[in-house]
Amino acid sequence: MNTSSQTAPSLQGKTLFITGASRGIGLAIAKRAAVDGANIVILAKTTEPNPKLPGTIYSAAKEIEAAGGRALPLAVDIRDDDAVFAAVAKAVETFGGIDILVNNASAISLTNTEATPMKRFDLMNGINARGTYLCTAACLPELKKSAAAGRKPQVLTLSPPLSMKTHWFAPHTAYTMAKYGMSLCTLGHARQHQFSARLFCRLR
Kindly report the CATH number assigned to the domain that includes residue 47: 3.40.50.720
Residue 21 lies in a domain: yes
Distance from C-alpha of 175 to C-alpha of 178, rounded to nearest angstrom? 5
- Concerning whether 58 is annotated as a catalytic residue, the answer is no
For residue 6, being part of any structural domain is answered with no
Which is higher by pLDDT, 89 or 54? Answer: 89
In a domain, 82, yes or no: yes
Is residue 176 assigned to a domain? yes
Number of Cβ within a 10 Å radius of residue 10? 12
**Burial, 1: exposed, middle or buried (Cβ in 10 Å; 0-12, 13-18, 19+)?**
exposed
Q: What is the pLDDT of residue 118?
A: 98
Q: Report whether pLDDT(7) > 70.
A: no
Mean pLDDT of 192-197: 75
Enumerate the β-bridge partners of residue 199.
Answer: 157
What are residue 15's DSSP bridge partners? 39
User: Domain count of the chain?
Assistant: 1
Report whether 141 contacts 89 (CB < 8 A).
no
Q: Which long-range contacts (CB under 8 A, 24 or more apart) does 160-168 make?
A: 160/199, 160/201, 160/202, 160/203, 161/199, 161/202, 162/187, 168/203
Q: Give the number of other Cβ atoms within 10 Å of residue 123's Cβ.
A: 17
- Residue 53 — very low, low, confident or very high, per pLDDT cuts 50/70/90? confident
**pLDDT per position as a tens digit, 180-191:** 999 999 889 888
Backbone angles phi, psi at 2, to 5 degrees: -85, 115
Amino acid at 141: P
pTM of the model: 0.91
Q: Please give the Cα distance from 101 to 139 (Å, whole number).
A: 7
CA distance 125 to 135: 14
Q: Determine contact, residues 170/181, Cβ cutoff 8 Å.
A: no
Residue 204 lies in a domain: no
Q: pLDDT: is 5 or 147 the higher one? A: 147
Distance spanning both ends of the chain, measured CA to CA: 17
In a domain, 29, yes or no: yes
Range of the domain at 88: 15-199
Q: What is the pLDDT of residue 200?
A: 64
Position 2 in a domain:
no
> What are 111-170's pLDDT values in tens digits?
999 999 999 999 999 999 999 999 999 999 999 999 999 999 999 999 998 889 998 888
Residue 7 included in any domain? no
